[in-house]
Structure 1
Amino acid sequence: MALTGAVPCMDREQEALLKFKEGFKSASESFSSWTAEEDCCNWRGVGCDNATGHVTILDLHGRDPYNILQAHLVSPSLFDLPYLRYLDLSLNDFQQIPIPELIGSLKYIEYLNLSNANYRGTIPSTLGNLSHLKSLDLSGNGFSLRAENLSWVYGLSSLKVLDLGGVDLSNAEDWLDAVNMLPSLVMLRLFCCKLPKLSQNLHHVNFTSLKFLDLSFNNFSSTIPNWLFDIGHGLVYLNLSRCQLQGVILDALGNLASLISLDLSKNGLKGPIPLTLGLLQEQEFSQLVVLDVAMNCMEGSIKEAHLLKFSSLRVLDLYSNSLALEMSCQIGFSRIMYMNLSFNELKGHVPDFSSQLQFSQLDLTSNNFWSPLPRFSANLRVLFLARNSFFGHISNLCGILSMNNSLTYLDLSSNNLSGEIPDCWKYGYYLVTLNLANNNLSRQIPISMGQLIHLKTLQLENNSLSGEVPLSLKTCTDLTVLDLAKNTLG
């Protein structure tokens, strides 16, 4: 946008932009202001240097699915903008054309985003000429975009962000050595890249500025690499999920003391969760917000006192391991929002969660908990306690179903719960699924269940319910699954 008193757009660069526009199939809203009569510095998506009039910014990223650009070519005129520093053509449709070789001539470019733009072919090695480049995003173009090697990144000495997510790097044997030559790198995303291997050692780790590392959805079939622990204390996000990792989680992972999010889910890791994961030293992992080791082969016991040291934890996912944790009433995650401990070997009493005001989702499905149903916070949205040995009455549910609650999914099936179903469903406005099947519940179905107007699934089968099915259920017009079998209803 040109300001009052600013130098107008250079004629040669305005002509270059108009020629660039001709490479697109339709005159979309993005080009509505692109007219020869108007100073190009006032065109939508164009920014200029006010002192020289040179075009420095071209931002034509797709803003919504109904207003994307479709290009049948990238006009060479684009590269007649020698002072361009910022180029964003993401979220458009370039209809499987290659990224042009001439892109390496934009010698002052600092930000380049061609993500989710339907490019194909080999990434041009001329990108390595862009020594001023700080951010490069080519992600989301699918495996139709590939690189035979990454040796071209050696020339990107200023690079801080490299995102090649979804690019086919199956032949890029040098990928790790290449990115290790980028000392200023802060973010590296190589998720779902068919990376050929994960080297266990580096002679010297250069990319110690790294804060964000995502290598998920690759088939490494290896252990967690040793060089990872030498990156430094700055790493805050680490995602190695779905990488077919094997072996144990080494104690050295505790060196990454600044981690906020750690995702090692869906691998073949085994052994115990190491004590260095914030469990021995108060300062370690005190900042950890997300801990996800779901769907591994982790085993051993976790002491509840250790978990309490994760004072900032908001997401804890230990789903489908063989972990043992005997919970007591001392547990206190003051900020946790999502906890999935299902399909483990957890046992004992479930503590009182009524004071956990941040809790929104709790899943303890398929464990060995044996206790009366505890109290829970009215802030819960999802509560899964199925396939345990909870016993006694379920009157505590009325504490969740208080005014202004947000409970959406409730599953208490396959336990030893008994007594009558409490008549407190008038506040279950948001409830979509209610499953109380396979228990010992008795007496009548409460009339207030008819006030669950958004309910889609109601399962009460295999209990000892009696009496008439209440006519009030007719008001549950969204109900698609209703199972009342194996009761003594009239």
Structure 2
Amino acid sequence: MASSKTSFRLLLPVFLISLTVSVPLRASLTNSGAKNFSMACFEEERKALLEFKRSLGDSLPGLSSWIGEDCYKWTSIRCSNQTSHVIQLDLSNICGEGSDNPAPDAPMSACLGGELSASLVNLTALNYLDLSGNTFKSIPIPSFIGSLQKLRYLDLSDSGFVGLFPPHLGNLLQLRTLDLSKNSISGSLPASIGNLINLETLDLSENKISGPLPVSVGNLSHLNILDLSFNMINGLIPKSIGQLRELGFLNLWSNQWEGIISESHFENLTRLSNLQLSSKSLVFNFSQEWTPSFSAPFISISIRDCKFVSPTFPAWLRSQFIVYIILSNVGISDTIPEWFWRNSPHLGWLDLSNNQ
């Protein structure tokens, strides 16, 4: 059985198929390369971008187009075709393969690095910021990002950021997507994360986050994706997670959860279609009569190294149409019932290892 982090990444597309996909944010943005001569840069925003470039290193080949007066023509920049303000800055993986803005034959030394200038606060209409896949080694996420209050999309993943989770991100009340995965963020999550009430995607996976999960996470009522996998979060899983009615993808894999998880944790998760959870100190206490409120067309469940109170095969699975299931080392001592096979005609993965 595959046990790498990559195998769990592969489950996300299965979940996304079941979502009603909204029009991508970037589809509504003016093409930065379009020859729209009615548009003009605001001088303060042009200067802010050039100052930001200088803080990263003026010689970066991926930013070689950042010259002249017409910043709306620069690569990685999108401007509003109504107001001419800069609304998108996409500097993701600027020197790597698969980037939207790759610099041909650029070495890793040409990736973004160094400091991040606070000049970006002068981009007062900025709603999309992607700095993922770069090399900001051993610097904390700068506090000025919490002042970009028009942001709806923020991706700082896989960029070498360190330090505590920045509480100032709780100021970004319009944020829909927050991805800080694959960094070295440490310490506990602040209660201010519950301020982000418009969040739809929260990915904090593959960091060094510890401490308990704040109860305030239950305030994120629009959340469809929550990924906290591969951290060191401990303590109880708050029952407030059961308030996330829009949640479809819940990944709590590879943490240090403790205590009991019961039906109340899933009370209102009617849209849940992908659940991943593992911890040696976590006890599942579900009644054999329990019927989950979720029943997606296709569901994926991965539970490992937890303790089921009842040794019988979990009857709550009877109402589910399962395509992928791991129930490994959970204390089951039973045969697989006939109803499981009848309800799983599309089953693609089954792992019941280390049970009886």
Q: Is this contact kept in 1: 2:234–2:258, CA < 8 A?
A: no
Match among 163, 177, 184 for residue 135 of structure 1 = 177
Partner of 2:332: 298
Q: Is this contact kept in 1: 2:242–2:266, CA < 8 A?
A: no
List aligned pairs for 1:75-154, cutoff 5 A. 75-142=117-184, 145-154=185-194
Partner of 1:469: none
CA change 1:115–1:17 in 2 (3 A) is same
The CA distance in 1 between the partners of 2:76 and 2:261, in whole Å, is 44
List aligned pairs for 1:315-464, cutoff 5 A. 315-322=349-356
The CA distance in 1 between the partners of 2:291 and 2:155, in whole Å, is 33
**Aligned-partner residue type, residue 262 of structure 1:** I
**CA RMSD, aligned part only?**
2.4
Partner of 2:217: 179
Q: Is this contact kept in 2: 1:26–1:70, CA < 8 A?
A: no
1:43 aligns with 2:74: yes
Partner of 2:114: 72
The unaligned stretches of length 5 or more in structure 2 are 1-31, 98-106
The CA distance in 2 between the partners of 1:151 and 1:139, in whole Å, is 19
Q: Is this contact kept in 1: 2:243–2:267, CA < 8 A?
A: no
Q: Match of 1:153, SS?
A: helix
CA change 1:261–1:29 in 2 (3 A) is farther
The CA distance in 2 between the partners of 1:26 and 1:268, in whole Å, is 55
CA change 1:318–1:205 in 2 (3 A) is closer
The CA distance in 1 between the partners of 2:215 and 2:351, in whole Å, is 33
Q: Match of 1:264, SS?
A: strand
Number of equivalent positions: 310
1:243, CA displacement in angstroms? 5.3
1:58, CA displacement in angstroms? 0.4
Partner of 2:270: 233
Partner of 2:42: 10
Partner of 1:443: none
Q: Match of 2:266, SS?
A: helix
The CA distance in 2 between the partners of 1:234 and 1:311, in whole Å, is 21
Structure with greater helix percent: 2
**Aligned-partner residue type, residue 285 of structure 1:** Q
Over residues 100-137 of structure 1, what are the superposed CA-to-partner deviations in whole Å (9 max), with x where a residue is unaligned? 11111111110001111111112222211111111111
The CA distance in 2 between the partners of 1:308 and 1:168, in whole Å, is 42
Q: Is this contact kept in 2: 1:169–1:196, CA < 8 A?
A: no
CA change 1:17–1:291 in 2 (3 A) is same
Match among 314, 320, 343 for residue 285 of structure 1 = 320
Which of structures 1 and 2 has the larger relative contact order (alpha carbons within 8 angstroms, sep 6+)? 2
1:226, CA displacement in angstroms? 3.4
Q: Is this contact kept in 1: 2:199–2:223, CA < 8 A?
A: yes
TM-score after normalising by structure 2: 0.79
Q: Is this contact kept in 2: 1:41–1:47, CA < 8 A?
A: yes
Q: Match of 1:47, SS?
A: strand
CA change 1:248–1:178 in 2 (3 A) is closer
1:21, CA displacement in angstroms? 0.8
Q: Is this contact kept in 2: 1:146–1:168, CA < 8 A?
A: yes
1:3, CA displacement in angstroms? 4.5
CA change 1:312–1:254 in 2 (3 A) is farther
Match among 78, 87, 99 for residue 56 of structure 1 = 87
1:275, CA displacement in angstroms? 2.3
The unaligned stretches of length 5 or more in structure 1 are 279-283, 323-490
TM-score after normalising by structure 1: 0.59
1:73, CA displacement in angstroms? 0.7
Q: Is this contact kept in 1: 2:175–2:199, CA < 8 A?
A: yes
Match among 188, 192, 198 for residue 236 of structure 2 = 198
The CA distance in 2 between the partners of 1:77 and 1:27, in whole Å, is 19
The CA distance in 2 between the partners of 1:189 and 1:74, in whole Å, is 26
The CA distance in 2 between the partners of 1:139 and 1:243, in whole Å, is 24
Partner of 1:263: 302
Identity percentage of aligned residues: 31
1:237, CA displacement in angstroms? 0.9
Over residues 57-91 of structure 1, what are the superposed CA-to-partner deviations in whole Å (9 max), with x where a residue is unaligned? 00011152745623221111122111100000011
